[in-house]
Amino acid sequence: MSGGNGLRIGIDVGGTNTDAVVLDDTDRVVAKAKRPTSPDVTEGLRAALDAVLAELDEPGRVRRVMLGTTHATNAILERRALGRVAVLRLGAPATTSVPPLSEWPDDLRKAVAAGTAIVRGGHFVDGREIAPLDVDAVKRFLSGVEADAVAVTGVFSPASADQENRVAEIVRGELGDVAVSLSHEIGSLGLLERENATVLNAALYGVARDVTTALRSALESRGLRVETFFAQNDGTLMAVDYAARYPVLTIGSGPANSLRGAAYLSGVEDAIVADVGGTSTDLGVLVGGFPRESAAAVEIGGVTTNFRMPDILSIALGGGTVVGEEPRSVGYRIGREALVFGGSTPTMTDAAVAAGRGSVGTHGVPDEWRERLARAVRNADEQVADAVDRVALGKADRPLIAVGGGAFLLAGDVPGAGEVIRPAHAEVANAVGAAIAFASGRLETIVPAAGGETGRATLIEKAKEEAAARAVAAGADPASVQIVELSEIPLSYLPEPAVRLHVKAAGPLAR
């Protein structure tokens, strides 16, 4: 439907700036803009959108908008606009030693929890039921809560989802059109982390609606009728109705976007990426064009979750970083406060200019600062070399792609990396990453390693089909969906050999 000459807009909301780009149907950047991120996010987003639209001769040719935003993260951090969630766990008599939301910060729990219960149900690792689902207890719980949404988490549901699906039906029967988050659709093994993510997801439905509405009205008021997509934490996209169901997956999309954008702009698929922003530099690794993912637990607003996020190492080095007062940054006020803009605060931008790495600003660097700034550059180079070494995991020859508004801070030669690549449009790589992203679906389950090679192969085949179906549901073109990841991790200490199977499918958006 995008036609032969459609345009698309990628927008990425960062901590300091909101970036927007327009790509044509050959993925060429035809417009770009950077605006300060506003406290409410939406205002900065509109400003960036207006700025790129103003550059277009025919804004009406825009067919799609891809948005990577921090609305959900901010809502959780600020405990704002969150829905009230009925939290239901299927697992009693197991799991009672740590009830739902036990370790949540009090204010977040108060903002979100409409009620919690652990009812009889759930499964063992081998698929047997811990207890049959206690349907009466589920109904009793639902009749006693006033909630905007329901979050359902069953023990071992990633391997046995039937009870969670039944609860979804019961909720529909009892409460009608109340939204339900099922944990097996959201997270992987690790009950508390998956439950936390599922509850956060349920709490974010309203936020997702608000963002969608705000974006739609912003677009419509500019005469645009477009399809919108949201970027998620693994560098892929979700169609808007899909994002409305899994808003929590939009958290942490920024680093993934910048990695994907760096791969696209440089044409290099295996590399280290350093995204230098206003307050920090994020380093990540591209493997086959996709971000290498972290195995560590991810904390959001004081709550531990187990999302797969890009493996990112952040260091306190950005264009606005104040020399001698790290990690403080002047942020978007750099245009007034930095020495090269006539201000009185020595920043890393000043240091880089003094070192001859770029020409930025309206003023020269005063001589009395030169020695301190030179020292700051040496320190920064060491910091970067150290960080590169940490993320490189011993492979020293990969190129380093420098992106972000502060990419010129980086030296031309970084120890531990090969060539330093500085692609065109590097300063808006994150927005480009959002614009060119694929849609994806993923699935995690447990598959017995025994039971015959054919039985196992059938189960893996089934898992691949399900992941592909999820990618299509997220907006991918059914004809070009591919399995991009398939990992089998043997589980230790189990009576019957079994593997944890992880499948991810991705493909370009349907035309």
Partner 1 sequence: MTLSVPRSVVKALAMQARISLDISLEDVSALARGCAVLGTGGGGDVRAGALAARRAIREHGEVPVVGLRDLPGDALVLPLSGIGAPTVSHEMIHSEDEPVRIRDEIERIFGRAPAAVMSSEIGGANGVAPVAWAARLGLPLLDADAMGRAFPEVQMVSMYVAGIPANLVIMSDVVGNVVTIRPVDGLWSEQIARAVCVASGSSALMADYVLTARECEGAVIEGTVTRAIAIGRATEGAQDPLAALQEELGAVRLVTGKLTDLERRTTGGFVRGTVTIEGTGDDRGRTLTLEIQNENLVAVEDGRVRAMVPDLITVVDTQTATAVQTEGLRYGQRVTVLAWPCDPLWRTPKGLETAGPRAFGYDLDYLPVEKIAS
| Contacts to partner 1 from residues 132-161, by CB under 8 A | 155-156
Nearer to partner 1, 130 or 171 (CB): 130
Using the rule CB under 8 A, which residue among 4, 132, 176, 394 binds partner 1? 394
Nearer to partner 1, 14 or 187 (CB): 187
Q: How many CB atoms lie within 10 A of CB 362?
A: 9
How many residues are given for the chain? Answer: 511
Query: Token digits for 6?
Result: 């459609």
Nearer to partner 1, 336 or 390 (CB): 390
Binding mask 452-491 for partner 1 (x = CB under 8 A): --------------------------------------xx
102 binds partner 1 (CB under 8 A): yes
Give the pairing of strands 85-92 and 281-287: unpaired
For residues 23 and 495, what is the distance between their CA atoms, to the nearest angstrom? Answer: 54
Nearer to partner 1, 283 or 476 (CB): 283
Nearer to partner 1, 29 or 125 (CB): 125
Using the rule CB under 8 A, which residue among 110, 225, 390, 511 binds partner 1? 390
Closest to 435 (Cα-Cα) out of 28, 4, 98, 107: 28
Using the rule CB under 8 A, which residue among 47, 51, 56, 125 binds partner 1? 125
Using the rule CB under 8 A, which residue among 287, 420, 473, 494 binds partner 1? 494
103 binds partner 1 (CB under 8 A): yes
Using the rule CB under 8 A, which residue among 88, 191, 276, 312 binds partner 1? 191
**Minimum CB separation from partner 1 for residue 346, in Å?**
27
Query: Token digits for 368?
Result: 């009395």
Binding mask 349-388 for partner 1 (x = CB under 8 A): ----------------------------------------
For residues 146 and 108, the answer to whether their CB atoms sit within 8 Å is: no
192 binds partner 1 (CB under 8 A): yes
495 binds partner 1 (CB under 8 A): yes
Q: What is each CA distance from 6 to 46, 195, 474, 510, in whole angstroms?
A: 21, 41, 21, 13
Using the rule CB under 8 A, which residue among 26, 97, 143, 454 binds partner 1? 97
Element (H, E) at 299: strand 298-300
Query: Token digits for 463?
Result: 């898992």
DSSP state of 509: B
DSSP state of 149: E
- Which phi and psi angles does 145 have, rounded to 5°? -120, 150
Nearer to partner 1, 28 or 128 (CB): 128
24 binds partner 1 (CB under 8 A): no
Alpha helices in 275-424 (DSSP H): 334-337, 348-354, 370-392
CB-based contacts of 175, cutoff 8 Å, min separation 6:
142, 150
99 binds partner 1 (CB under 8 A): yes
Q: What is each CA distance from 385 to 352, 371, 511, in whole angstroms?
A: 16, 21, 43
Query: Token digits for 308?
Result: 């797969």
Nearer to partner 1, 154 or 247 (CB): 154
User: For binding to partner 1 (CB under 8 A), which residues are involved?
Assistant: 91-99, 102-103, 122, 124-126, 128, 130-131, 155-156, 189-192, 389-394, 490-495, 500
